[in-house]
């Protein structure tokens, strides 16, 4: 199973779901809606939606079940990038080769576009009144809310901002990775699993899988940046690239063990996990 082929195969489903979730740029206030769409279209790898689809398939469900969660996790991811690029955070002028949202639309509109993307994610995952899924939809929604909150994404970002490389150890770096990156990756997988009908035991296994793969994904991202002399929150300057790579591989192996029993139907999920950590598929 080739991860890039799977990402391409599921791409149309993600684009349609995101298009349906977001107001058109022609709807007032036009600048806000255009700003919301700016970083969603064209997007990045769409890794998190693909993980949601692959998790639904891994638990024996048709992919369609995961559409609401696939759109919602990409919207939360996009909001976090819009805010992360702001002058008060990383102060980046470009992302994916294009001007960031605050450069294109102004800082105030970028803050508000991020806020609206976050709200739009939960509106999308909740669905219209009477939407199918019931308790399972609520479980997926809760996973996403926890992953986006102060004990995960936002708290991880706060600790990243005040990170002190001189005092850090590997455990504190991984704790930030776990909250800032792995939590949303896990919520993508768990949301797909809940909507796909997984039982509690399988959800627990997928939670451990998602945590391991998510942390390994962030280590891999830091290795790509190859900022050995950087003082940022990264295992690479702390352990050196070889040991950081070995840690990512060990996490990947431990994660894959959790889903070993799932058989052929979990192949896309395994392939995406390897791709997230090695970026070579």
CA distance 200 to 233: 33
Give yes or no for residue 154 binding ligand GRG (CB under 6 A): yes
Interface with ligand GRG (CB under 6 A), residue from 11, 45, 136, 163: 45
Helix (H) or strand (E) holding 172: helix 170-177
Give yes or no for residue 220 binding ligand GRG (CB under 6 A): no
Interface with ligand GRG (CB under 6 A), residue from 1, 157, 163, 247: 157
Q: Which is nearer to ligand GRG, 45 or 208 (CB)?
A: 45
Give yes or no for residue 197 binding ligand GRG (CB under 6 A): no
Give yes or no for residue 270 binding ligand GRG (CB under 6 A): no
Burial class (CB in 10 A: 0-12, 13-18, 19+), 108: exposed
Give yes or no for residue 84 binding ligand GRG (CB under 6 A): yes
Q: Which is nearer to ligand GRG, 47 or 113 (CB)?
A: 47
CB atoms within 10 A of CB 242: 10
Q: Which is nearer to ligand GRG, 202 or 236 (CB)?
A: 236
Q: What angle do CA 10, 14, 18 make, to 5 degrees?
A: 175
CA distance 97 to 280: 21
Give yes or no for residue 124 binding ligand GRG (CB under 6 A): no
Closest distance to ligand GRG from the beta carbon of 27 (Å): 25
Contact region with ligand GRG (CB under 6 A), list: 27-35, 60-68, 77-85, 197-205 = 77-85
CA distance 12 to 63: 13
b/e map 212-239, b = 16+ CB within 10 Å = bbbbbbbbbbbbeeeeeeeeebbbbbeb
Q: Which residue of this chain has its Cβ atom nearest to ligand GRG in the complex?
A: 44
Q: At what angle do helices 67-84 and 134-148 cross, to 10 degrees?
A: 10
Query: Total binding residues for ligand GRG by CB under 6 A?
Result: 16
Give yes or no for residue 44 binding ligand GRG (CB under 6 A): yes
Contact between residue 265 and residue 57 where contact means Cβ atoms under 8 Å apart:
yes
Give yes or no for residue 180 binding ligand GRG (CB under 6 A): yes
Contact region with ligand GRG (CB under 6 A), list: 3-11, 27-35, 39-47, 125-133 = 39-47
Closest distance to ligand GRG from the beta carbon of 217 (Å): 7
Residue linked to tokens 């942390």: 215
Three-class secondary structure assignment of 205-260:
HHHHHHHHHHHHHHHHHHHHHCCCCCCCCCHHHHHCHHHHHHHHHHHHHHHHHHCH
Closest distance to ligand GRG from the beta carbon of 201 (Å): 29
Q: Which residues of this protein are in contact with ligand GRG, per CB under 6 A?
A: 44-45, 47, 80-81, 83-84, 89, 96, 153-154, 157, 180-181, 218, 221
């Amino acid at each position: 199973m080739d991860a890039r082929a799977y990402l391409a195969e599921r791409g149309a489903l993600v684009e349609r779901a995101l298009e349906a979730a977001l107001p058109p740029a022609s709807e007032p206030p036009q600048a806000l809606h255009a700003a919301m769409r700016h970083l969603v279209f064209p997007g990045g790898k769409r890794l998190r939606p693909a993980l949601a689809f692959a998790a639904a398939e891994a638990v024996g469900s048709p992919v369609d079940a995961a559409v609401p969660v696939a759109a919602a996790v990409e919207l939360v991811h996009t909001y976090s990038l819009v805010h992360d690029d702001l002058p008060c955070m990383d102060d980046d002028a470009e992302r994916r080769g294009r001007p960031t949202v605050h450069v294109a639309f102004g800082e105030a509109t970028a803050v508000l576009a991020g806020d609206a993307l976050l709200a739009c994610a939960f509106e999308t995952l909740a669905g219209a009144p009477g939407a199918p899924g019931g308790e399972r939809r609520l479980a997926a929604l809760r996973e996403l809310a926890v992953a986006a909150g102060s004990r995960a994404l936002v708290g991880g970002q706060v600790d990243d901002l005040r990170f002190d490389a001189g005092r850090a150890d590997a455990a504190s770096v991984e704790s930030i990775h776990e909250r800032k990156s792995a939590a949303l990756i896990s919520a993508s997988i768990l949301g797909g699993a809940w909507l796909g009908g997984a039982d509690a035991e399988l959800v627990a296994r997928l939670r451990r899988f998602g945590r391991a793969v998510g942390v390994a994904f962030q280590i891999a991202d830091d290795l790509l940046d190859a900022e050995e002399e950087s003082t940022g929150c990264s295992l690479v300057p702390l352990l050196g690239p070889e040991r950081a790579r070995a840690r990512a591989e060990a996490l990947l192996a431990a994660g894959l063990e959790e889903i070993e029993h799932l058989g052929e139907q979990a192949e896309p999920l395994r392939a995406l996990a390897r791709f997230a950590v090695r970026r070579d598929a």
